[in-house]
């Protein structure tokens, strides 16, 4: 889609206020949309909505499915409003933290509430009919996902590659027998997905009604222990035992002498090309039905991927393997014109990647926190070097907050360059808003900033630290902080730099 000059806020659903252990798709999500509309913001960017797991540190970038929704984000209040729960179901709930996400309690609560609501299905024929319709429309991924999750429960949560041979290799007779014996468990899993996507559709419609567009996020790789690899092994480079022959990662660079070994299975792009990239086209279609724009994580991997032989403990001994990027993007463009994609092009990006982005008109990302090194005059992240067709951020979910960066990471020389660039004295209590203003001033068509930076929060509000497995993704907004005064001030700033048609 064509992006007009505009701006928006990055805030994941889990970070919304809620008394149910984690931010969700309920009333507070709509209140945030109200705030976006009042403040002249056109975009709400979120992180992936797929299921998360404590095994993977609750990271939204590590999931059991590329299609399923995270049922932890289901709103108990919306279930109540729709008649799936009764008032007493939400009374006397255990006390849950308000400032941090508690994934374990959130999961336990949603599981019990979904079970109660599922028990009412037979007495609610209109919901039952809607549920069956959803299952039929989403059958291309939902049946495999429901069976996958039911089988994991049946086999004490062991990964699929440790299941009995006939299930590992998806013997049709075995799949049929287990689908029958696990039907109740599968229906409950399907029902959770039905509730998630029903609530998401309601929230998406609310955004549309208030002039707010949504930016989603597609992680490039999927987990080995996922419904996707189990159901579509031919899409990945697996050996005769259905285990990865090579693993995904990135090579050694300035930041890591041994590179990064992510451990995900790598796509067999030749096989994907042979069947018209159908797996990827279905995945992108699924996301573009949910969002107005989609960020393609690690876009560099769509042009050439770093493959590390299985068994290696670091990424040092990997090699670059070409990916048929043009054929793939042409196939996407046949279904989406213009391409509704943002290329996450951070890190070391080579000329071949830039060329593909230009050919297909894909906007990249500019991060202000990366702009103020010794190479400031020529640094591509510095605002005077931006081009219109890009998205400028103060920082992303992987960065410290602006204030946290200023207080903990920016050295004296970096601060001096920043002050010289801005022409004013920079302090911890004013730097975040000055950087937000700098994103607004950029020639970039789209400016996005994490809510933490609008609020001037320190490192305690950081969302994630790459390379650290646990203890992240827990920051949450407190109720009452998004005041009318804050909205009015942001609207004034947004209008001043021509990013909204409204006027203060």
Residue 130: name the closest of 76, 65, 179, 190 by CA.
190
Residue tagged active-site, from 28, 107, 297, 445: 297
CA distances from 146 to 63, 106, 184 (A): 14, 21, 10
Greatest Cα-to-Cα distance within the chain, rounded to the nearest angstrom: 72
Residue that the structure tokens 């409204």 belong to = 502
Please enumerate, as own/partner, the contacts of 248-252 that have beta carbons within 8 Å and a separation of 24 or more.
248/220, 248/221, 248/301, 248/305, 248/306, 248/307, 248/308, 249/306, 249/308, 249/315, 249/318, 250/306, 250/315, 250/347, 251/306, 251/315, 251/316, 251/318, 251/320, 252/315, 252/316
As a whole number of angstroms, the distance between CA 336 and CA 353 comes to: 21
Examine the residue annotation and report whether 345 is marked as an active-site residue of this protein: no
Residue tagged active-site, from 344, 445, 453, 458: 344
Q: How many residues in total does the chain contain?
A: 504
Surface-to-core class of residue 147, CB atoms within 10 Å of its CB (0-12 exposed, 13-18 middle, 19+ buried):
buried
CA distances from 334 to 32, 216, 330, 363, 444 (A): 35, 21, 6, 19, 27
Examine the residue annotation and report whether 91 is marked as an active-site residue of this protein: no
* End-to-end Cα spacing for the chain: 28
Residue tagged active-site, from 398, 407, 419, 488: 398
Q: At 335, is the secondary structure helix, strand, or coil?
A: coil
Examine the residue annotation and report whether 398 is marked as an active-site residue of this protein: yes
Residues forming the active site: 297, 344, 398
């Amino acid at each position: 889609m064509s992006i007009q000059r505009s701006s928006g806020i990055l805030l994941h659903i889990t970070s919304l206020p809620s008394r149910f252990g984690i931010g969700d798709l309920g009333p507070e999500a709509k209140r945030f949309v109200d705030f976006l509309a009042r403040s002249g913001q056109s975009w709400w960017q979120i992180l992936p909505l797929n299921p998360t797991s404590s095994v993977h540190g609750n990271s939204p970038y590590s999931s059991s499915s590329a299609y399923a929704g995270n049922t932890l984000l289901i709103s108990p209040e919306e279930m109540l409003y729709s008649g799936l729960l009764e008032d007493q179901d939400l009374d006397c709930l255990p006390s849950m933290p308000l400032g941090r996400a508690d994934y374990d309690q959130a999961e336990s609560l949603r599981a019990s509430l979904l079970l109660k609501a599922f028990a009412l299905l037979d007495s609610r024929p209109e919901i039952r009919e809607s549920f069956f319709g959803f299952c039929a429309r989403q059958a291309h991924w939902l049946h495999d996902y429901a069976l996958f999750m039911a089988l994991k429960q049946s086999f004490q949560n062991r990964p699929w590659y440790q299941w009995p041979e006939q299930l590992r290799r998806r013997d049709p007779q075995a799949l049929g027998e287990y689908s029958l014996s696990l039907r109740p468990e599968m229906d409950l899993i399907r029902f959770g997905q039905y509730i998630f996507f029903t609530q998401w559709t309601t929230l998406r419609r609310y955004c549309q009604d208030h002039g707010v567009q949504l930016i989603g996020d597609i992680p490039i790789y999927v987990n080995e222990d996922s419904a996707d690899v189990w159901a579509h092994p031919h899409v990945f480079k697996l050996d005769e035992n259905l285990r990865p022959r090579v693993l995904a990662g990135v090579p050694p660079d300035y930041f890591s002498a041994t590179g990064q070994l992510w451990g995900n299975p790598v796509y067999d792009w030749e096989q994907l090309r042979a069947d018209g990239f159908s797996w990827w086209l279905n995945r992108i279609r699924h996301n573009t039905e949910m969002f107005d724009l989609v960020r393609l994580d690690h876009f560099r991997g769509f042009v050439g991927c770093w493959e590390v032989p299985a068994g290696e403990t670091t990424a040092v001994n990997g090699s670059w393997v070409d990916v048929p990027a043009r054929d793939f993007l042409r196939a996407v463009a046949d279904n989406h014109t213009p391409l509704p994609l943002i290329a996450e092009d951070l890190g070391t990006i080579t000329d071949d990647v830039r060329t593909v982005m230009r050919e297909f008109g894909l906007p990249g990302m500019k991060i202000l926190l990366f702009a103020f090194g010794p190479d400031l005059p020529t640094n591509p992240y510095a605002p005077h070097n931006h081009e219109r067709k890009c998205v400028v951020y103060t920082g992303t979910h992987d960065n410290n907050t602006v204030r946290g960066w200023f207080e903990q990471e920016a050295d004296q020389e970096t601060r001096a360059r920043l002050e010289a660039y801005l022409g004013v004295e920079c302090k911890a209590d004013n730097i975040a808003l000055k950087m937000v203003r700098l994103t607004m001033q950029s020639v970039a068509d789209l400016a996005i900033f994490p809510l933490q930076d609008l609020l001037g929060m320190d490192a305690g509000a950081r969302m994630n630290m790459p390379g650290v497995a646990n203890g992240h993704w827990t920051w949450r907004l407190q109720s009452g902080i998004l005041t009318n005064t804050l909205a009015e001030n942001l609207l004034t700033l947004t209008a001043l730099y021509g990013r909204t048609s409204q006027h203060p």
